[in-house]
Structures are given as C-alpha cells and as structure tokens.
C-alpha cells in the first residue's frame, strides 16, 4: 500500500493516513496537557505522519498544540485547519455561530495563523457552510488568500453536492472532509463519484467511529462527563447488539491478517479508493503507531469483495 497520496489536483503530498487532533481538547470530556500532546504529535511525525488536522472550534488550545508540535519541522508536514464556525455554541444548535462572510474569513485565517505560529496553512476547510453566504463568494475569498500566500489549498466539510460544484467552479476544491467508516457509508453513492469527477481528495473523519471499531468498548463502558459517546446510540447495548455481525467480520479479518480491528477498518478505507484519506485521532502513543501501521495491512481485491458482500447483508446502526 502506498503511504502517500496527492491532495486533490495540487502537488501537495499527504500520508494515506492522517492524524486528527480533535480529541485532544474536544468531544471526550477532557483537555489533555499541552506537553503530552506536543510530544505525542512529534512522535506521530517520527512514525510517518505528515498530515495533521485541527480546527479552532475544538478549542484554541487545539491549534496551539499542533503549531508548537510541528514548529521544528513545519515544512515537512501538511497542516489542515478550518473556518466557518465562530462559536462552539454551534454544537448546541446556534445558527449564528456560522460565519463565512469575506471579512470574517479573513479575520479567522489570521487568528488561526497566529495560534498555529505559522505564516501559511496548507489546507483550509470551510467547517460548515454559512447559509447567509453564497459558495461563489466564499471561493472568491479563499482564492484571495491563496494568492496572498496565507493558504495553499482549500476544502469543505459537510457541504451539499451543488454547493461543492458551485464553489469548485470559482476556485478548485482540493478536499472534502465528511464522516466515513464501516458504520457511516452514506457518502459512497454521492460524494465518491463527485470526488472522482472533480479530482478531489475525500478526507474521512471519525474513520474508527470515535473508537467503536477498535472493539475496545462494551455496552457497560463508563465515559467521562462531556464525552459524546455516552449519548450515542452506537455505544449503547442496542447499537452494539445490532452491529455484532459487523464486529465479527472485522475480528475475523483482524485474525486472518494478524492485525488489530482498528487497522482493518483503516486498511479497508485506504484500499477502497485511492483518494480516501482517513484521519483517526488518539491521545495514546501506542495507538498512534498502531493506526499508521494500517498502511502495511494488505487487503486483496478478493478480500475487499468479500467484505463488501458481507456488508451488503448487514443492517448497520450508524453514527
């Protein structure tokens, strides 16, 4: 398996598996210590990662940690961050937390550059679309940022197909970032063909379904206050029971390939499409290496077909 891939139609090279920073400060009920996370991400780089994904809405510390971690080797890595969500009240349903106006984007990029301690961002995503701003206006603003040297490429996250087409016509989109995994396969019939048509990289967020596919959780697992998994159907007894056939399939392949369940989930993705790039996150050193080593797990065409055939008969409870 190739360890690197091109980012969209650019000459930017990224690892086939990236590192998602979200969980360091967001969604799991704890903000990890800066010293530990900086050391972890430097270890990730030593392991082979060159693609790192963050966002301001994960907490200002998230970008700061990444900026400090990669400072000694900034030109060797690809840093992705985001704009468009200007307040974490978005996660509570506040539509006013979305702003992709021209002036706001320009302020947001400068704020991110400052927190990251860098003078350019490799990949700048619109984290969520702003219904008050047309895609053409967003794309024009991004194009200005590219010309100014503040960003190298841009992308969108959770945007409708029509929006992507309209924005791409003004300034080429290099990546989309959506949720994709064994339990979230809804994009296969829509966004995959779009990526193939327009030459866009599909960055897969939550490829391990927030750890579910690692097979390290059970229905009785206790989560910290603030951990999203405590209220997700996927992690409740009903969800786990419903998906037992899926986990049995993953475990069978893990045994067959002498790999971990997480490695099977990641290897399946990067084998499935040459433009698919999963970005699992972890705060544990051993998982950093385990996840990246999925690039060494070879799944043949026959094995991929076997997996697809099995999946087609499953009624999977998703994210």
Mean pLDDT, the chain, rounded, equals 93
- Model confidence pLDDT, tens digit, residues 68-102: 999 999 999 999 999 999 988 887 889 889 999 99
**Has residue 162 been placed in a domain?**
yes
CA atoms in the 13 A half-sphere facing the CB of 175: 33
Question: Residue range 12-28: average pLDDT?
Answer: 92
**Has residue 239 been placed in a domain?**
no
Residue 69 belongs to domain spanning? 4-211+262-297
Residue 1 has a pLDDT of 63
- Model confidence pLDDT, tens digit, residues 98-114: 999 999 999 999 999 99
Question: Residue range 50-55: average pLDDT?
Answer: 98
**Has residue 100 been placed in a domain?**
yes
The domain spanning residue 175 has which CATH number?
A: 3.20.20.100
Please say if the pLDDT value at position 237 is more than 90.
no
Model pTM?
0.94
Options 19, 49, 58, 191, the catalytic residue? 58
Residue 125 has a pLDDT of 98
Residue 58 falls in the annotated catalytic set: yes
Q: How many folded domains does the chain comprise?
A: 1
Please say if the pLDDT value at position 219 is more than 60.
yes
- Model confidence pLDDT, tens digit, residues 168-216: 999 999 999 999 999 999 999 999 999 999 999 999 999 998 888 987 7
**Has residue 220 been placed in a domain?**
no
- Model confidence pLDDT, tens digit, residues 289-313: 999 999 999 999 999 999 999 999 9
**Has residue 158 been placed in a domain?**
yes
Question: φ, ψ for residue 201 (rounded to 5)?
Answer: -80, 140
**Has residue 252 been placed in a domain?**
no
Residue 133 has a pLDDT of 98
**Has residue 315 been placed in a domain?**
no
**Has residue 254 been placed in a domain?**
no
Q: Residue 318: which pLDDT band, with cuts at 50, 70 and 90?
A: confident
């Amino acid at each position: 398996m190739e360890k690197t891939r091109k980012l969209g139609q650019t000459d930017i090279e990224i690892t086939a598996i990236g590192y998602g920073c979200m969980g360091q400060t967001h969604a799991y009920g704890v903000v990890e210590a800066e010293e530990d996370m900086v050391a972890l991400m430097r270890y990730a780089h030593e392991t082979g990662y060159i693609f790192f994904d963050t966002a301001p809405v994960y907490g200002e510390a998230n970008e700061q940690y990444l900026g400090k971690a990669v400072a000694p080797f900034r030109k060797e890595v690809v840093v992705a961050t985001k704009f468009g969500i200007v307040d974490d009240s978005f996660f509570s349903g506040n539509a006013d937390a979305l702003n992709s106006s021209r002036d706001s984007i320009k302020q947001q990029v400068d704020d991110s550059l400052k927190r990251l301690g860098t003078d350019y961002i490799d990949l700048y995503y619109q984290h969520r679309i702003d219904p008050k701003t047309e895609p053409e206006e967003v794309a024009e603003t991004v194009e200005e940022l590219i010309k100014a040297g503040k960003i190298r490429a841009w992308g969108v996250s959770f945007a409708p197909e029509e929006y992507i087409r309209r924005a791409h016509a003004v300034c080429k989109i290099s990546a989309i970032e959506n949720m994709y995994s064994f339990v979230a396969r809804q994009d296969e019939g829509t966004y995959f063909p779009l990526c193939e048509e327009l030459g866009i990289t599909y960055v897969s967020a939550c490829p391990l379904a927030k750890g579910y596919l690692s097979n390290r959780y059970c229905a009785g697992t206790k989560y910290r206050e603030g951990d999203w998994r405590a209220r997700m159907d996927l992690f409740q007894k009903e969800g786990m029971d419903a998906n037992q056939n899926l986990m049995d399939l993953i475990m069978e392949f893990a045994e067959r390939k002498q790999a971990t369940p997480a490695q099977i989930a990641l290897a399946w993705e990067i084998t499935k499409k040459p433009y698919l790039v999963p970005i699992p996150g972890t705060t544990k050193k051993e998982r950093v290496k385990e996840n990246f080593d999925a690039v060494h797990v070879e799944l043949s065409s026959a094995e991929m077909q076997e997996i697809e055939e099995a999946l087609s008969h499953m009624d999977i409870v998703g994210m």
